[in-house]
């Protein structure tokens, strides 16, 4: 039991920052929700740690738990009466932020939970379509579909923020 705990603690120490970055993208920049998401995933992973460790896929397993929890969290929030709208609320935009972080979070917030998960896992965590399909429990074709739709939405939204000279508003 102590060895399992030591291995789990070592994993958390080594990978928690990366997991938190991914969770922050999955929650469209909500730091508190991201922290909750990582905590939930690590709780579930701890229970199954011996089995996960035997497979040698600890990070993939935790990432899968986290991604599915993010999708479920959004579904639950929507069912509780929150309404998804076509307009993003006014949020201060930083002109010179690190890599336009605020704009990325705003764009991610406009995607469906599955689309957001696919985009984060593909372009942030650099997973293959097969790895994403495994993490989400769907086919590679579904991953391609969600990625295609997400890119179309993000391109459309990005185009709306540009004026005729090509500069951001």
d(CA 169, CA 163): 6
DSSP lists the bridge partners of residue 168 as 162
Q: What is the distance, to the nearest Å, from the Cα of residue 55 to the centroid of all Cα atoms in its chain?
A: 24
Report residue 168: phi and psi, to 5°. -70, 145
d(CA 151, CA 147): 6
Instruction: Kindly report, residue by residue over 58-117, the tens digit of the pLDDT.
Output: 888 899 999 998 888 766 555 445 555 666 655 544 443 565 678 888 888 999 989 999
Q: How many CA atoms lie within 13 A of 58 on its CB side?
A: 18
Around Cβ 49, how many Cβ atoms within 10 Å? Answer: 19
d(CA 117, CA 105): 13
Contact 28, 3 (CB under 8 A): no
Q: How many residues does the chain have?
A: 169
Contact 39, 45 (CB under 8 A): no
pTM over 0.85? The answer is: no
Contact 120, 26 (CB under 8 A): yes
Q: Work out the mean pLDDT of the chain and round it to a whole number.
A: 81
Reported confidence tier of residue 4, pLDDT bands at 50, 70, 90: confident
d(CA 119, CA 127): 10
């Amino acid at each position: 039991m102590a060895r399992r705990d030591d291995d789990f603690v070592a994993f958390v120490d080594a990978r928690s920052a990366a997991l938190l970055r991914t969770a922050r993208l999955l929650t469209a920049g909500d730091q508190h929700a991201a922290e909750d998401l990582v905590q939930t995933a690590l709780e579930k992973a701890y229970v199954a740690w011996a089995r996960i460790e035997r497979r040698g896929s600890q990070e993939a397993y935790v990432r899968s738990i986290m991604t599915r929890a993010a999708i479920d969290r959004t579904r639950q929030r929507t069912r509780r009466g929150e309404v998804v709208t076509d307009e993003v609320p006014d949020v201060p935009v930083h002109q010179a932020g690190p890599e336009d972080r605020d704009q990325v979070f705003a764009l991610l917030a406009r995607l469906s939970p599955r689309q957001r998960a696919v985009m984060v896992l593909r372009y942030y965590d650099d997973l293959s379509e097969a790895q994403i399909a495994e993490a989400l429990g769907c086919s590679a074709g579904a991953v391609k579909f969600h990625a295609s739709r997400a890119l179309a939405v993000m391109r459309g939204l990005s185009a709306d923020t540009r004026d005729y000279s090509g500069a951001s508003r």
